[in-house]
Structure 1
Amino acid sequence: MARPTIADRYDEKIAQRMLDYSNQMPGLPAYLGVKLLRFAPGLLEAEADLVAQEATPSGNVHGGVVAGILDHITGAVVYPLIPDGHWGATTELKLNYISPITPEHLRAEASVLAITNRSAVVRAEAFQGERLVAAAQGTIAIVAPRTVVTGASA
């Protein structure tokens, strides 16, 4: 039996649910101003308004801000490709800072390079205007929901 392709795995309903939920999610994505814009099979487009981020003394945005954004979208892109109820956990993220990041609009894209039932390899890029400012590649573990056993004794 052939392994399912990324297009075979894609669930538009989960993608839409991710868009609806993620843009109201509290925590780090809200703090960083991350907005998920569009999913397609194995692809995610996002943006963040970095104007509210306090610049470093050199006038740039701290690299950890962009790391947080790219970590978020490399995980989020897998959700429409995995069974409902499963979740993604970053197990590795390698990041290259290519150009200084200024406190302005940031556009980011994530794409799934490979996926199995247990993990995915994802690439992400961040842009300011047409300028590539950072690139990342990560491994996302795909975790099944935990079954809680009740009434069991040790």
Structure 2
Amino acid sequence: MSGLELLRAASAMPDRAGIGTLLGMTVEELEFGRVSFSLVTRPDFANPLGTTHGGICATLLDSVMGCAIHSALDAGVGYGTLELKVNYIRSVPIDGRRLVATGTTLHVGRTTATAEGKVHDEAGRLVAHATTTCIIHR
């Protein structure tokens, strides 16, 4: 299966395991070069200041950007994150706020790929944005 076909098949599995399940991620969109996931904040996402820990947004961004790259890969080709750069714009309460992250490919080459991602809150405000570089495993 192509990367996109594999992502679609995996998202349809009823008993998925992994980081997405742990954080309660929901697949919103799976297209070639573009992926969106959402999650709802909860108290166990809190940092010491009582707002959503930055690692939650970083994980959400790493997931959508990596999967956007994966969606553009041929069958049998994998990837791994080489670099992740996140910019945080505003804090997010832990009281059940829905966050939606979208990752989009910028470049998919033979040995590396790049993507960008954005996280918005339920009011449409930008919460964080990021870029990534991934290595392609052929």
Q: How would you bin the TM-score normalised by the shorter chain?
A: 0.7 to 0.9
The alignment of Structure 1 onto Structure 2 pairs a total of residues equal to: 133
1:16 is displaced (CA, Å) by 4.4
The TM-score, its normalising length taken from structure 2, stands at 0.85
Q: What is the aligned partner in structure 2 of residue 134 from structure 1? A: 128
Counterpart-to-counterpart distance in 1, 2:108 and 2:40: 30
Q: What is the aligned partner in structure 2 of residue 64 from structure 1? A: 55
Q: What is the aligned partner in structure 2 of residue 106 from structure 1? A: 99
Q: What is the aligned partner in structure 1 of residue 33 from structure 2? A: 42
Mean Cα deviation higher: 66-75 or 49-58: 49-58
SS at match of 1:73: helix
The correspondence of residues 1-154 of structure 1 with structure 2, limited to 5 A, is 14-22=3-11, 24-51=15-42, 53-103=44-94, 104-129=97-122, 130-144=124-138
Read off the aligned partner of 1:122 and give its amino acid letter: A
The TM-score, its normalising length taken from structure 1, stands at 0.77
Q: Does the aligned pair in 2 maintain the 1:42–1:112 contact within 8 Å? A: yes
1:57 is displaced (CA, Å) by 4.3
SS at match of 1:15: helix
**Structure 2 vs 1, CA of residues 14 and 63 (structure 1 numbering), >3 Å: closer, same or farther?**
same
Q: Higher relative contact order by CA 8 Å / sep ≥ 6: 1 or 2?
A: 2
Long gaps (5+) in structure 1: 1-10, 145-154
Long gaps (5+) in structure 2: none
Q: Does the aligned pair in 1 maintain the 2:25–2:39 contact within 8 Å? A: yes
Structure with the greater alpha carbon radius of gyration: 1
Q: Does the aligned pair in 2 maintain the 1:33–1:50 contact within 8 Å? A: no
Q: CA RMSD in A?
A: 2.0
Question: Deviating runs (4+, > 4 A) in structure 1?
Answer: none
Q: Percent identity?
A: 26
